[in-house]
Amino acid sequence: MTLSILWLRQDLRLFDQPALAAAAAQGAVCAVYILDAEMPGQRPMGGAARWWLHHSLTALQGAFLERGVPLVLRRGRSADILKSLCQETGARRIHAVAHFEPGWKQAEAEVAAFADLTLHSGNQLAPPATILNGSGGRYRVFTPWWKALLTRMPPARPIPVPDRIEAVSGIASDDLDAWDLLPTKPNWATGFDVWTPGEAGAGAALRAFLPILRGYDAQRNLPSITGTSRLSPHLHFGEISPATIWHVAAKEAGAAAEPFLREVGWRDYATNLMDIFPDYPLANGRENFDRLPWRSGPEAEADFDAWTKGRTGYPIVDAGMRELWATGWMHNRVRMIAASFLIKHLLIDWRRGEQWFWETLVDADAAANASNWQWVAGTGVDAPVFSRMMAPLTQSEKFDATGYIRQWVPELADLSPPYIHDPEAFGMRPAAYPAKRIGHREARDRALSAFAQMLGR
């Protein structure tokens, strides 16, 4: 009997799981998830993501047990745990889906040094190193990258769940509850019940999105309505594959699915950037921004605290930050507005915001989070100029955020448009709602002055 280890990471599914399919085809399978916070370069998981992981693993354990297969849980450095499992089981081959974060790539190299590690493509539409320009180099700009990716699409059809998975029994496993992934004192995740982590939850989210898929391009920027898929945390944890989403969306809407599939493509593009620039969450993509004079000190800290708590005096920013804290998620248009406000209005280093999102987002993805923040900041390799500054009050009116603000900023629920978007300007600000931390024009002048100072003007 050939026995293989299935090493699971951010690929917590059975359907379209190429590593599982390959392992099951060769013989018995020992499926293992390792909670690895010891690998150098492996960023510790944020609190919201840990909440999701607990429930996703619970769902995956149930799905495996329905097929008579135990899911082994271990905690420690991945290479050490896998070497131990190879000794315990006699396995020499390990199947895994390839990952591209620096820590995971180092772990893969360490594992390959003592075992037959077979990596499978399954978490991206195409492996990042295969999308090349005419000179054989890597793309750094999204649009040409996207055009090149489209020549490789559609992705291969999803792989069914194996009809039979031969299990390995008697392997010791940690108790999931002992990992303490869930918050308790206090339990700040009481509002997270809007989510259903796990593969079944991912499938339900995709089915719920299909009726509005054709209207996605027109509705995705409107935070007051349900116009997006909310699939991002399911994608991050690999509870559904991008190939599955591509085929279902294309079948459902044909060419009308392109705006949505393009957004799925942005996730792959971010992985491409991290594969090229492993330190993208920490280092400016454009080195001249190393000279930009970000604010620091007590006043800047007070501003940052107000931003995290949704107390900036800008209703759409505050609504987004409160939604984030309550649910672990924020509407994508509002993410851009809130990020731009921290960077341009408050002149606080984008890495502070990136770290806050990493801690509070259930879909916190190293590549996507860094890429999005660097794009908004103008520091990224494919980003608009720093002087492009979102006007949050204008954005709020343009994208009709009235219902969104009423939901998340109840102090303003009695106001109607246009007053709800900028109550201070109309003398309508309730006493319970804070004054603006800074005026828009003042903030713009300060940001442009800092930008000029960076350029040496």
Q: Which of helix, strand or coil describes residue 33?
A: strand
**If you write DSSP's letter for every residue of 189-217 in order, what string do you get?**
TGGGGG---SHHHHHHHHHHHGGGGGGHH
The H-or-E segment that residue 5 falls in is strand 3-8
> Hunting for tokens 């604010």 — which residue is that?
295
Cβ neighbours for 277, distance < 8 A, ≥ 6 positions apart: 283, 285, 381
Which residue type, as a one-letter code, is found at position 437? R
Residue 167 backbone phi and psi in degrees, to 5: -95, 160
Q: Which residues of 240-251 are buried (b: 16+ CB within 10 A; e: fewer)?
A: bbbbbbbbbbbe
Query: What count of other Cβ atoms lies within 10 Å of the Cβ of residue 119?
Result: 18
What is the C-alpha separation between 294 and 197, in angstroms, rounded? 38
Q: Of the residues 146, 179, 188, 266, which is catalytic?
A: 266
294 is catalytic: yes
356 is catalytic: no
350 is catalytic: yes
Selected catalytic residue, list 329, 373, 375, 408 = 373
409, 310 Cβ separation under 8 angstroms:
yes
Contact 44, 143 (CB under 8 A): no
Whole-angstrom Cα Rg for the chain: 23
Residues 250, 390: Cα–Cα separation, whole Å: 33
The answer to whether 345 and 447 are in contact (CB under 8 A) is: yes
- The one catalytic residue in 332, 397, 411, 424 is 332
Q: Kindly write down the DSSP assignment for every residue of 64-127, as one continuous string.
A: HHTTT--EEEEES-HHHHHHHHHHHH---EEEEE---SHHHHHHHHHHHTTSEEEEE--SSSS-
d(CA 311, CA 305): 8
Spatial separation of the C-alpha atoms in residues 184 and 163, rounded to whole Å? 40
Q: Exactly one of 258, 263, 359, 397 is catalytic; which is it?
A: 263
How many Å separate Cα 366 from the centre of its chain?
Answer: 7
Query: From the candidates 294, 325, 359, 411, which is the catalytic residue?
Result: 294
- Cα distance between residue 33 and residue 15, in whole Å: 17
Is 179 among the catalytic positions?
A: no
- The token pair at 214 is 């054709």
Which residue out of 246, 329, 350, 356 is catalytically annotated? Answer: 350
As annotated, the active-site residues are 263, 266, 294, 332, 350, 373
